[in-house]
Amino acid sequence: MLDRGAIEALVPHKHAMCLWDEVLDWDAQRIRLRAANHRDAAHPLRSDGMLRALHLGEYGAQAMAVHGGLLARASGGIARPGLLVALRDLRLHVVRIDELPGAIECDAEQLAAGEASQQYAFRIRHDDTLLAAGRATVMLGA
């Protein structure tokens, strides 16, 4: 298990913009993460007094970044910077997430990886309730 400090060492997202608190498990194809910051009144993505479920797309994209950082570190390198270029089939099952008690968790799976891009599928849950699912594509070296 990796904590927030270890995650921040792997990704460009720092402080409050680093959305994940811990890595629960990972291997070459998958990662599982947990966060409880969705209830924070000072959350950087919060607006109009709430954190909308739409922002779970960013949580999914950051899961990709953490996994990429772990893969790069395992091979003795550092992850190349990336730019989120697509969210596809994003299905949101709630309107907002800031009122959810307890942590949220994400399972992300690498679908494709090449020199120029990566694609992942992700599912974000609260307890046994699916909050969001989708696919994200990142262009590397951007």
Homologous superfamily of domain range 4-140: Hotdog Thioesterase (3.10.129.10)
Average pLDDT, integer, range 126-138: 96
Burial of 77 (0-12, 13-18, 19+ CB in 10 A): exposed
Give per-residue pLDDT as tens, 58-98.
Answer: 999 999 999 999 999 999 988 888 899 999 999 999 999 99
At residue 58, the 3 state secondary structure works out as helix
* C-beta of residue 123 within 8 angstroms of C-beta of residue 132: yes
- Structural domain spans, the chain: 4-140
Give per-residue pLDDT as tens, 22-54.
Answer: 999 999 999 999 999 999 999 999 999 999 999
**Does 141 have pLDDT greater than 90?**
no
Integer Cα distance of 34 and 104 in angstroms? 6
Q: What is the pLDDT of residue 142?
A: 56
Q: What is the pLDDT of residue 127?
A: 95
